Amino acid sequence: MYKAPRGTTDILPGEQAYWAHVQQRAAEVCLLYGYERIDTPAFEDYGLFARTDAEGTDLVEKEMYIFEDRGGQKLALRAENTAPVCRAYVEHGLFNLSQPVRLYYIGPTFRYERPQAGRYRQHHQFGCEALGDASPILDVEVIELAIRFLESLGLTRLSVLLNSIGCRECQPAYVEVLQQYYQAFSADVCSDCRVRMVRNPLRLLDCKQSACKRIVDAAPHISDYLCPECKDHFREVQEQLKVLGIPFALNHTLVRGLDYYTRTVFEILPQRQGSQSAIVGGGRYDGLIEQIGGKPTPAVGFAMGLERVILNIKEQGLDVPVPPGPRVYIAHVGTPARQTAVSLARRLRGAGIGVLASTGTKSFKAQLRQANSLGVTYTIILGDNEVEARTAVVRDMARNEQSTLPQDELVEHLGRPVDCSPDSASS
């Protein structure tokens, strides 16, 4: 027996209403803010993710799916979407367009992690990136967009955590102070943190081990070491969030797991919080495009896991529109009726009426039971008599009434074509 690989899930038909809804809402909200869709490949050159400056991050060291193709090229499944979007921005000369370029994506993302509720080896990210502009207004725009999207789904009481981790100029001085502070605790911290002290000191602040938590809490705050430009940027972000009435909490230990952030970093958490609770993660990454071979270009963005969004929709008991099923079921008995059923189904579908045609392998009774369980509006019944008279018995399932009609009048009688838009489904 084969099973879906550990940490992956099949999205069965019963789940699709959630996925259609969140993707539709994401597209609508992005349209409101002028973000255009981009799709990048599911795999990239390994080096795009494993840049030298990315060494020491869990993503590069432990979580990537790496493989060599038959031509000997070392590739990696997309472990996050920001570097691929930056690669596309440079490769296709999007820097020649009016800046900032606003892009969004929705797609599967792959990380070899220890699976648990809300954490998978294949998850789907919806994210936005605004490239080519350093204004703090954009930092706030992407936070506002993420919140508007979550609120459009009915998710409320969200917490925004905010920090600034400085820039190339001011961060090194803070890192030195942090390393000095940790010297006194090298015997007390966990084994991971002992490595971080050397390889990736900022990540010390993110350690969740109880032994390290106490040390983290008393660590020097990066906000006290920001250069004047980073301080101004951070102040403007906070002021603008206040103007928009978006509540946020400053969190001096928020540093994020990826290497490329500069200045603003943020996370958005739902009402119920646990270890895998951040729905949204993002921030500014003014050095990344240069690191992958482009010109120095400021940029900011976020990504969110749609599995976590849907988990929260379910936990909060929120409704999602269910797309309508077929309107008509055709039951039939006998060979001539089977042929008529197939042609009639084709004619009705051609007129935009959804039809589920029985294959005729079930008994007549079983066909009617199936029609009932599908919740169709009408069942059409065909037998030898109807074929000969070119008529059909039409049963209105809700009223439990039936009448005989000429086959040529069925399109008119069975009514309006299917409207597949989600809004029609909720009405």
CA distance 4 to 26: 27
Minimum gap (Å) between residue 146 Cβ and ligand HAM: 10
User: Which residues are CB-contacts of 415 (< 8 A; sequence separation ≥ 6)?
Assistant: 327, 353
Q: Does 305 bind ligand HAM (CB under 6 A)?
A: yes
The DSSP call for residue 119 is B
By beta-carbon proximity to ligand HAM, the closer residue of 264 and 377 is 264
Q: How far apart are CA 126 and CA 143, in angstroms?
A: 13
Give strand ranges (E) for 43-188: 43-45, 66-68, 74-77, 101-110, 122-131, 159-164
Contact segment (CB under 6 A) with ligand HAM among 74-82, 92-100, 200-208, 386-394 equals 74-82
* Alpha-carbon gap, residue 87 to 173, rounded angstroms: 30
* Binding residues among 83-122 for ligand HAM as defined by CB under 6 A: 111, 113, 118-120
Q: Does 153 bind ligand HAM (CB under 6 A)?
A: no
In the complex with ligand HAM, which residue's Cβ is closer, 120 or 329?
A: 120
Q: 306-315 and 16-33 are packed helices; what angle lies between their axes, rounded to 10 degrees?
A: 110
With respect to ligand HAM, which residue has the nearer C-beta, 80 or 386? 80
CB atoms within 10 A of CB 310: 20
Contacts with ligand HAM, 221-260, as mask; x by CB under 6 A: ------------------------------------xx--
Asked whether position 304 contacts ligand HAM by CB under 6 A, the answer is: yes
- Which region among 188-196, 221-229, 296-304, 329-337 touches ligand HAM (by CB under 6 A)? 296-304
Cα 358 to Cα 7, 130, 351, 355, 398, distances in angstroms: 37, 51, 19, 10, 20
Kindly tell me which residue out of 125, 163, 262, 377 binds ligand HAM, with binding defined by CB under 6 A: 125
Q: For the chain, what's the residue count? A: 427
Least gap, CB of 312 to ligand HAM (angstroms): 10
Q: What residues line the site for ligand HAM (CB under 6 A)?
A: 80-82, 111, 113, 118-120, 123, 125, 127, 129, 257-258, 278-283, 285, 301-305, 307-308
